[in-house]
Each structure stands twice: as structure tokens, then as C-alpha cells.
Amino acid sequence: AQRVTQPEKLLSVFKGAPVELKCNYSYSGSPELFWYVQYSRQRLQLLLRHISRESIKGFTADLNKGETSFHLKKPFAQEEDSAMYYCALPPISGGSNYKLTFGKGTLLTVNP
Amino acid sequence: DGGITQSPKYLFRKEGQNVTLSCEQNLNHDAMYWYRQDPGQGLRLIYYSQIVNDFQKGDIAEGYSVSREKKESFPLTVTSAQKNPTAFYLCASSIVPALASYGYTFGSGTRLTVV
């Protein structure tokens, strides 16, 4: 079964420090993972997709198939990065369930 | 502007009442979803619909009902059978063939409180 694990419910860092939000997955095949972010009082929005290999707001995420991980990283955290972050996994290619599987989320707090 | 709209933003329900949460999208997306968000529990899928007039139960469908009579609309009814309805409810939509590439678009949510 597909599963996404975000082992940290809460993560607190100081401004300017590196930050890494962990995401591990179980999946048959080569997944295209997502990171979503929810800032206070705002809607959940897509932060970045593995498929596009992009860097958004200084965040990057690399798929490590050996470790089945898709950790989100930023070298220098900013206070405005404080938010809830969710890792998400798409359905298996060729399957009939068109829905994402989400981790339980990590609440990041960046302290001044 | 294209997007997904949830209404109302805040909703208060008395014990024993049914309430309906609205979700409308003008993105021409095929699929629509309802999630419940509770602190520490992440996003839990209530119902989803891949095409008009068809929908499937998610992980926590008990006490909820939905309909999909139009592509643009996917209302969620929280019935009196739902034992703990106070939560933040999120609606989302996606392009079915491109879900793995583009993911979901989310609405801004409805906060339901039972009084």
C-alpha cells in the first residue's frame, strides 16, 4: 500500500539556520511527489513538484529512491517560512484511484 | 479568475442538524475531493468524485454525504450521524489524467463548529 510518513509533527529552527523537513514514502514504481504548504489563514498551495525539479522560495527537494525519501530543504530559513508542510504521493500509474496520499504534516516554526 | 470556491468560510451547527458545505470550481477539472483537517491528524479524505454522477468513499465517510450533479459543484453534507463534526473542511480539484503531474488545487476551507 502507498504510504507517506512525515516523522516530525513539529520543527522549530532559528532564522538563518538550515531546515530539512523529512518525508519518506512507500510506493511501487517511480513516484512523482509533491510538497504542499499552508501558511496561517491561507489555503493549502502547491510548493513544489518532483516532476519539475524546481526551486520555490529557496526550497528544494530531491527524490532519493534508495532511501525512499523526498526531504524538503532550505539552506537559510526565514520567518515567513513558518507554516504547515505536507508531503503528498500520487496514485500508482494505471491504477483506478485518482487521489493523492498525504503525510500528516510538519508544522515549521522559524524563530527570530 | 479561475479557481475553487468554498462557502461559507465559517459555519455553526446545532447538535442534531444537517449542514451542507459548498464547493464550486471553474477550472474545468474532472475530479473533486473533500478532506477534513484536524490538528495532529493531517488531511483525511472524506469523499471524492472522478466524474459527474459518480463518487467514492474515502477513509472517513461515515456521517457524511455528497453529490456530483454538475462538473463544477461537489457539495458536502455533514449529517447528524457524524459524531465529531467540528473541524476544518477542505475541498480540492484536479485534472484526472494529469493528477500525478499537477496535483490538486485547494479551496480556502470551511470551519465548521458544533454549538
Q: Is A56 on the interface with B (CB under 8 A)?
A: no
Q: What angle do CA B78, B44, A100 make, to 5 degrees?
A: 125
Instruction: Count contacts between A and B (CB, < 8 Å).
Output: 56
pLDDT value of residue B62 = 96
Split at pLDDT 50, 70, 90, the class of B110 is very high
pLDDT in tens, A60-83: 998 898 999 999 999 999 999 999
Q: How confident is the model at residue B15 (pLDDT cuts 50, 70, 90)?
A: confident
Q: Does the beta carbon of A11 lie under 8 angstroms from any beta carbon of chain B?
A: no
Rounded CA gap, A91 and B44, in Å?
16
Q: What is the DSSP string of A42-76?
A: S--EEEEEGGGT--BTTBEE--BTTTTB--EEESS
Amino acid letter, residue B62: E
Tell me what the mean pLDDT of segment B89-96 comes to: 92
* Residue in this structure with the C-alpha cell 509533491, named with its chain if needed: A34
- Contact flag A99-B45 (C-beta cutoff 8 Å): yes
Per-block mean pLDDT, blocks of 10 residues, chain A (112 long): 91 97 88 92 89 83 91 96 95 74 95 96
Q: Judge whether A63 and A31 are in contact, CB under 8 Å.
A: yes
| Sequence letter at residue A4 | V
Q: Assess A32–B contact: CB distance below 8 Å, yes or no.
A: yes
pLDDT of residue A95: 64
Which residues of chain B lie closer than 8 angstroms to A54, CB-CB?
A: none
Mean pLDDT, chain B, whole residue set:
92
* B73/B102: higher pLDDT: B73
Mean pLDDT within B53-60? 94
Strands A10-14 and A19-21: unpaired
Q: What local confidence, expressed as pLDDT, does residue A51 receive?
A: 74
Q: Which conformational region is residue B80 in: left (phi greater than 0), alpha (psi within -120 to 50 degrees), or beta?
A: alpha
> So what's the pLDDT on residue B97?
73
The H or E element containing residue B105 is: strand B105-106
